[in-house]
Each structure stands twice: as C-alpha cells, then as structure tokens.
Structure 1
Amino acid sequence: MSDVAIATPLTELVGVRHPIVQTGMGWVAGPRLVSAAANAGALGILASATMTLEQLRSAVREVKSRTDAPFGVNLRADASDATDRVQILLDEGVKVASFALAPNRELIVRLKAAGVIVIPSIGARRHAEKVAAWGADAVVVQGGEGGGHTGSVATTVLLPQVVDAVDIPVIAAGGFHDGRGLVAALAYGAAGVAMGTRFLLTSDSTVPDAVKARYLTATVQDVTVTTQVDGLPHRMLRTELVDSLERSGRTAALLRALRHAAAFKRESGMSWTGMVRDGLAMKHGKELSWSQVLLAANIPMMLKAAMVDGRPDLGVMASGQVAGLIDDLPSCAELVDRVMAEAHATLQRLPSAQ
C-alpha cells in the first residue's frame, strides 16, 4: 500500500486511507472488485440494483470476509424494495450507503439514526442543496464526462458550483483516472474523487477480457452519449450495436424493451407488480413518459450481456470519456498506489506562492 496519504474530509468521514471512491457500477462492482478497492485504501462501493435481496446479503457478507476496511453499498432510492435493502445494510453493519438518485428524507433519517454514512450522487447544484438540507453526509458530483446516465454540464463547471453551495464533503466524479486529476479536484475544493471506468479496467474487475479489450482500444471520440437505449442521455462506447439502435425506429425499440423487461424479471426474481411500482416511481421522479419507462428496461440486460456474458455485440458498455486515456489493467492496489504517487509528484511540481 502506498506510503503517500492525503487526509481530507472524505477520509476522515468514512475512515479510508485515500480520498478515492470506486463507484457502484451495476454488474461490475461485485465483492471481488469492492474488497480489492477497499484493501487498497479506497472506498469500495458494492452495486446492488441488479441483485436480489438474497444476493445482496450474500455479497455484503462476502466483501466482509475479504476485507476489514470500510465499504459501502449503492442503492436505488426509487426501488419498490428500497426499505428492505436498507434493512440488510443495517443488519450487516455496512458503513456507507450511496445512492444513484437522491434518497428521500425518510431514508436518510433512518440510515443516519443507525450510524450509516449517507452519500448520494447528484448532477445539479439544487439536488446537492436538497440532500444536504435533509442530512446527507457527503455528495458525489458527476459531471457530463462520467459514464452511464449523465448530464450536460462538465465536471469543471458543476464541481465548483456544488462546492460553493453546500457545507458537506463533495466528491468529484466524471473524467478522473490519475493523480493529476485528484490534485485538480482537491484544488476545486473537493474532498476526493470517484472513479468508475478506471476501476472497471483493473485486473480485479470481473468484466470479461474481451470486453476490457474493447475499452482499451477506444479513443475519446469513441465514447458517445445516446438516448436510444432507455430514452435518457447515457454515455457509453460507440459500437456497431449502438449505431444500429440509433437507426432503429421507436416501435422496434419498444418491442426490444418488452423482451428485456421479461428477461430482467426472470433474472431479478421481481414480480410484474413490483416492476410496475418501480416504473411508476421512476416516471414520477424523472417526469418520464411511459415509453421512456419501458425503454429503461433495456439497461440492466443490455449491460449484463457485455459486462457479465462477454458479448459486446449484444450489449452496451457504459463508459466515461476517460476510457480514451486508459491503456492498461493494473490491480486495484497498483492503481491506487499509482494515483497517490502521481498526486504527490504533482503537488511537488506546483510553484510555490510568493
């Protein structure tokens, strides 16, 4: 483990050695990656949205068997079984709860009453202000460079807005992969950085080798934003499949979404009633049309096709723009050590104030 350490409000809040977060990527951030990130001194986040309740409990216990370091679990605040998932975190003594969408006030209060640190991800200043007022302990701020569902405002514009707006630690996400980026984020006032694509492209990641190879050959121009997968802006690698999706008509897209919804029902064990409840929550929370809600059924199974089954020709590969700058597969320990060494060297090179 690196001898270089930088103490920030993030490291003090969650008790990790380094101000680095491995994000909760669906089908990717499983027990092996999370425990490797945690053992390297970063905050590993387990992705739970694609797990059943039983799989989530088992995954949490596996992480705990692999590491004594703090780690977190990422939850969907709008899921119909969100309260059941929160109870698993409480039962298993998970230290951090992160959220892809802003949790409601009641969830935050319940988690904090049990001593769990709450860290939502947000994409706008007003959302950060809202969750901070509700008692969130920190926020992850993802700019438009980030992978998966994303906004249009760059990290360098969004990050200082949020830092100036809230009094809780702010973690920068979107475009980070090395020590120079960490130093830049700290200079903006962030308490650390969160990285998804960079941790996906490690030897500890369970993503199939053929899929990792596609990421490693991508240029910055090969990472695009499309709305044709689920009706919302989604940043991913541009592939032949993405091109075909963008050429397909609305009817074909909806039929494909129906097939994927049925497949996800089988995979997750959810009932149609539960899926409809989740759809209603999503529709209300994001003001989506019913066709957009149906299109959202594409995402879990199309991600699984690539990230689990190793079929980039049949699935999609969520990706930050930073994939175009990554060309190797270090272990999590090697990656974190490298980032911290680069951060130290970068700080040493900065001119002294006169």
Structure 2
Amino acid sequence: METALTELTGVRHPIVQTGMGWVAGPRLVTATARAGALGILASATMTADELRAAVVKVKSRTDAPFGVNLRADAADARERVRIIVEEGVRVASFALAPSRELIAELKDAGVVVVPSVGARRHAEKIAAWGADAVIVQGAEGGGHTGEVATSVLLPQVVDAVDIPVVAAGGFHDGRGLVAALAYGAAGIAMGTRFLLTSDSPVPDPVKAAYLAATVGDVTVTTAVDGLPHRMLRTDLVASLERAGRARALAEAVRRAARFRKLSGLSWARMVRDGLAMKHGRDLSWSQVLLAANTPMLLRAAMVEGRTDLGVMASGQIAGMIEDLPSCEDLVRRVMSEAHHVLRTLPSPEGVGPWP
C-alpha cells in the first residue's frame, strides 16, 4: 500500500511505531523496521552516547529505514541532530515543535523531519517552517495529550496543511488505518499497540496490567506533573489525586528520594528540571518534584516492572487490545485487515465492493 508516507520515508507500510521513552529502544525499533513499518527510537531517555550506540545497533540488525525522536528543548539537541546526520538516520521525529533552524539543518542533510503535534495551529506552524510531514495525536492517545478527539482533530489538520499527515490516537487495527486514509491521512502511528507486542521490552507483569485494563481503566490526570496525562488508573494515580497539598508534597519527596538513588541525579538537578517544567504553568511544589521525576516514574514501571511505584502511560485503545503478537505479525495483520475492509466496502453506486 503506497501512500505519501511510504514514498517519503521508504517504508513498505503506512504504519509508524511511536517513540515511547524506555520502550522504543533498539529491540522494538529493529522488529518494527523488519516488519516494514517505521520504527522510531525514543532518545529523550538516553544520553547522547547511548543514542549513538542505539542507532548503530539498529543499523547492524536491519537495512530498513527507521527514525529517532528528539526533544527540541533538550540542552544537547544539536549534538543529537549531529548524531542523526552522521549515522544516516532516515527520519527525525520531535515530541515538541522544533525551531525553523533545526528543521532546516536536518533537511539540508537529507533527513526527513516529522514533528508530532496535538493542535491544528501547531501543525500549521511547523508546516510553514518546512517540516516534511506531521504526526497529529488526538485525545485518545497515551501520555501527554490534548482535549480534541482524533476524529475531529485529524480532518482539521488535513485541511489546514499541504504536507502528509499521520494519524495517532486510538489506532490498533486495519479498520483504523482505512478510516485514517478516508480522512485524508497518509498513515497511522501507534504507541500502545506496539508496546503490547512480544518484541516490546516492557516486563510481562506490566503487559498483563495493560491487557487486563478496560477502556474505563485508562484515565487522564493532572495529578502526576500538572499536565493532562493519559495513563492506566492505578493505586498510585488514585492516591496522588486524593492527596491534599501537604500529603502530596510529602509523598513526592519520598518518591523523589527513591528515584534520585535510581537515576543518580542530584537534588539540585531534579529541582531545576522541575522548575523548568513549572515555568508558565500553575504547578504545586509536589508537582514540580513529580514533573522532574516523570521519566523515572515511567521507568519504574516500563523497565523495573514496579507498577506500585511507577506510572503507565496508555492510549484508550489499551482497553481493546487482547494479545501480544510480534511486530511482524501485527503489521501483517493490520495490512491484511485494511485490504479486506477496502475490498468489502460498498461501491459508490451501492452495487458490490470496490474494484
């Protein structure tokens, strides 16, 4: 199935595996790339040296195209861009809108630039700055999310920009791919669905918690870091939501002490990171500490398997996922379903399927 996304990136199928911190490492990205979809390495939870090593590892395992997700506001963003260019990575993805200068630098080096956005105005801005494509995530998506559903946001963005649009938030099968194409998208991006594969490095007990979740068990909360964050509802999340300011601060300090030992970060560094996130937002001091530790809260679950100490970012679609296929089987299944749906759609005249 050729679309503007496959033509732009060189992958066989119009499917993107998103860059999930602590999850989208060389193992998952290699499996995705081998399956013919676009795997994205998550670099925000890696040092620059770890990023280069991860890129080299994927390149040693497959010749297929893949990408790297960057934080545009990282202090060493330009160093990471240099790694992408030097290692010949095909795609650069961004969780926050990159600057016009960063986009130009990557494009001049032949790298395809595909930022992720959650609002039409952001898509319009990065399109005007020269981005090659855009991933647009609706409210159903996991992690930090907005309020507008994919079915409303996607056509808005498709109508507003003249670059390929990839739909994210609420996708897990071939029916969703066909629906996205009908809206005018060039493909779909999936996070939770790729997290729940046999190629994902997430510990089995954590995967089991996702598989056991219903749609109602996936919630949006601001209790973790002051921003709307979609995740599985757990006892930790519930306790943060119930806690008063004094108790929340005490709990944040206690957890911060645990994560400081795990991460090796100093108290001063953690507070600086939290204050950077507090800038321009109305966060309590407990949220400042938790904001600085959000990556470590995710790590506790996604790497250590500690669902009692960590959070589990999740799209609403987790409530509809029931198995753990390999990336190869998942991509093959999505494409087979998509072709089947296209074949069985009624024709415009209402007589039989599409040719």
SS of residue paired to 2:325: coil
Pick aligned residue for 2:158 from 160, 163, 172: 163
Aligned sequence identity (%): 77
Q: CA deviation at 1:252?
A: 3.9
Q: CA deviation at 1:97?
A: 0.6
Q: Residues 94 and 266 from structure 1, CA distance in 2 versus in 1: closer, same or farther, beyond 3 angstroms?
A: farther
Match of 2:78 in 1: 83
Instruction: Write the mapping of 1:95-244 to structure 2, written as runs, cut at 5 A.
Output: 95-244=90-239
Letter aligned with residue 207 of structure 1 = V
Q: CA deviation at 1:214?
A: 0.5
Q: Deviations over 1:138-174 (max 9, x none)?
A: 1100000000000110000000000000000000000
Unmatched 5+ stretches in structure 2: 350-355
Match of 2:352 in 1: none
SS of residue paired to 2:167: strand
Q: CA deviation at 1:228?
A: 0.6
Q: Residues 340 and 296 from structure 1, CA distance in 2 versus in 1: closer, same or farther, beyond 3 angstroms?
A: same
Distance in 2 (CA, whole Å) between partners of 1:173 and 1:27 is: 20
Residues 141 and 314 in structure 2, CA contact (< 8 A), matched pair in contact too: yes
Q: Residues 266 and 49 from structure 1, CA distance in 2 versus in 1: closer, same or farther, beyond 3 angstroms?
A: farther
Match of 1:26 in 2: 21
Letter aligned with residue 288 of structure 1 = R
After alignment, is 240-249 or 259-268 more displaced? Answer: 259-268
Q: CA deviation at 1:90?
A: 1.4
Q: Deviations over 1:262-308 (max 9, x none)?
A: 76677667777876776566455xx3246454431231111111100
Q: Deviations over 1:186-207 (max 9, x none)?
A: 0000000000000000000000
Q: Deviations over 1:227-269 (max 9, x none)?
A: 1111101001111111111112234434554566676677667
Pick aligned residue for 2:7 from 5, 12, 21: 12
SS of residue paired to 1:314: coil
TM-score (norm 2): 0.92
TM-score (norm 1): 0.93
Distance in 2 (CA, whole Å) between partners of 1:29 and 1:238 is: 22
Distance in 1 (CA, whole Å) between partners of 2:107 and 2:250 is: 42
Q: Are 1:316 and 2:338 counterparts?
A: no
Q: CA deviation at 1:52?
A: 1.0
Distance in 2 (CA, whole Å) between partners of 1:185 and 1:41 is: 19
After alignment, is 287-296 or 192-201 more displaced? Answer: 287-296
Letter aligned with residue 75 of structure 2 = S
Distance in 2 (CA, whole Å) between partners of 1:185 and 1:161 is: 13
After alignment, is 244-253 or 309-318 more displaced? Answer: 244-253
Q: Are 1:297 and 2:296 counterparts?
A: no
Residues 220 and 323 in structure 1, CA contact (< 8 A), matched pair in contact too: yes
Q: CA RMSD in A?
A: 1.9
Letter aligned with residue 95 of structure 2 = A
Q: CA deviation at 1:28?
A: 0.4
Residues 172 and 194 in structure 1, CA contact (< 8 A), matched pair in contact too: yes
Letter aligned with residue 211 of structure 2 = L
After alignment, is 116-125 or 270-279 more displaced? Answer: 270-279
Higher RCO, Cα 8 Å, sep 6+: 1
SS of residue paired to 2:97: coil
Q: CA deviation at 1:311?
A: 1.1
